[in-house]
Amino acid sequence: MKIYNTLTRTKEEFVPIEPGKVRMYVCGPTVYNLIHIGNARPMIFFDSVRRYLEYKGYEVNYVSNFTDVDDKIIKAALAEGVDSSVISERYIEECKKDMAGMDVKPATTHPKATEEIDGMIDMISDLIEKDHAYEVNGTVYFRVRSFKEYGKLSGKNLDDLESGNRTLLVTGEDEKEDPMDFVLWKPKKEGEPYWESPWGQGRPGWHIECSVMSKKYLGEEIDIHGGGEDLIFPHHENEIAQSEACSGHVFAHYWMHNAFLNINNVKMSKSLGNFLLVRDISKQYDLSVLRFFMLSAHYRSPLNFSPELMEAAKNGLDRIHTAMKRMKDELGKGLAGAETADEKAAREAFAARFEAAMDDDFNTADAISVIFEMVKHANTLKPEETTAEGWEALRNTLLRLADILGIEEPKEELLDADIEALIEERQAARKAKNYARADEIRKELADKGILLEDTKEGVKWKRK
């Protein structure tokens, strides 16, 4: 398996630190609003990376954080007149709903920055002790020039940044020793959340948060660190500097970055009014379509979002779902006897080509092409000319490979009358205090895309 490593700008053979195990950290969203489709791309792609690694037999410890203390969160809280935790908790829950809609599996751990402040204070103190950081009037800065390899991820040169590219500088104040030094800890302002520290009341800078959360849940040295390419500089560059200055060894062995998302060939931005929320998309399409669309291009290629391309993705996904349904409906209808050598060879050839695509820097676009070829192959087969065992084996292989991409077999549609009957049975079970059966029915309905809501007026339901 080869991975394109942003650090070396080459495809490298993947060799984990510990055989059979992968430690993987992906920067999560800042939770001040509903997530947008730019947030969705890394969530979807790295979820498929995690799924493929698990398919290959690795035990994956996958960590993706929520940044729940930030200027934008504080601004939203002040506007509403509530505590910043109200804003962050609200949008963490909304984010989880959108992730579930996109079939993004929960990470092994979803740490929140505000729950890891003690670790951040410890790392900052360690950096000060090692002369990589200094404190001025309650603000602690990282001394960038103390880390000789600064710029190795982004390819940026410190002297060039300082002399020619002022716009790239981390916000600077006169009290800094060097304009490039970045904030590790900042003093509190009126109305802002704060924590006690050796440098006074305040809160952490953004960059230190990910270093600490990665270290706590994955260790000082990790296999894969991922995120959007907009994070390469300064966020990931600063993570490397502070982490390696602290530990004295390599922070992450492989750095992976997905490319930007454009809207109708224009970069997405609020100022242009082309800012699309995942929740907006869910009003027009099932979010499985958004996921399929995102994976239809290589993750390192810019991706253009348009209504036409979403329609094409929907049609493509429908073709796969139709084939899956037919294969399920015709289970057991084939010829008696074991899967033939030809059937097995065809099935294994598809799996091998799928794996070859994913082994080549997780090329989901080529992997999807293999899925389409499997569908085309299945559509040409007739049960009466195929062994029942071979048919089932082909179906199972298709489902297993499709699952890596988050493509699920379509759920059986329940009629409204069937739903109402199950709700009545659930109400009767609850009345009889048979809560196990009531929970069973709720889960059965949820598995088929029906959500229940218990209200004062009775039980209300809706389809996902």
Q: How confident is the model at residue 227 (pLDDT cuts 50, 70, 90)?
A: very high
Read off the amino acid at residue 264. N
- The CA distance from 109 to 73, in Å, is 22
Cβ neighbors of 314 (< 8 A, separation 6 or more) are: 285, 289
Mean pLDDT is lowest, of 149-153, 440-444, 460-464, for 460-464
- The CA distance from 2 to 11, in Å, is 6
Cβ neighbors of 155 (< 8 A, separation 6 or more) are: none
Task: Work out the angle between the directed axes of helices 364-380 and 287-295 (0-180°, nearest 10).
Answer: 110
- The pLDDT of 252-270, averaged and rounded, is 90
- Concatenate the DSSP letters of all residues of 19-48 into one string: TTEEEEEE---B-SSPPBHHHHHHHHHHHH
Cβ neighbors of 70 (< 8 A, separation 6 or more) are: 30, 32, 206
Q: How confident is the model at residue 272 (pLDDT cuts 50, 70, 90)?
A: confident
Instruction: For residue range 82-132, list pLDDT tens digits in order.
Output: 999 999 999 999 999 999 999 999 999 999 999 999 999 999 999 999 999
Q: How confident is the model at residue 173 (pLDDT cuts 50, 70, 90)?
A: low
> Of 447 and 290, which is predicted with more confidence?
290
Q: How confident is the model at residue 164 (pLDDT cuts 50, 70, 90)?
A: low
pLDDT greater than 50 at residue 167: no
- The pLDDT of 7-27, averaged and rounded, is 98
pLDDT at 168: 44
Instruction: For residue range 40-60, list pLDDT tens digits in order.
Output: 999 999 999 999 999 999 999
pLDDT above 90: percentage of residues in the chain: 83
- The CA distance from 374 to 391, in Å, is 12
Burial class (CB in 10 A: 0-12, 13-18, 19+), 115: exposed
Q: Model's pTM, two decimal places?
A: 0.89
- The pLDDT of 268-281, averaged and rounded, is 85
- The CA distance from 463 to 447, in Å, is 11
pLDDT above 70: percentage of residues in the chain: 97
pLDDT greater than 90 at residue 256: yes
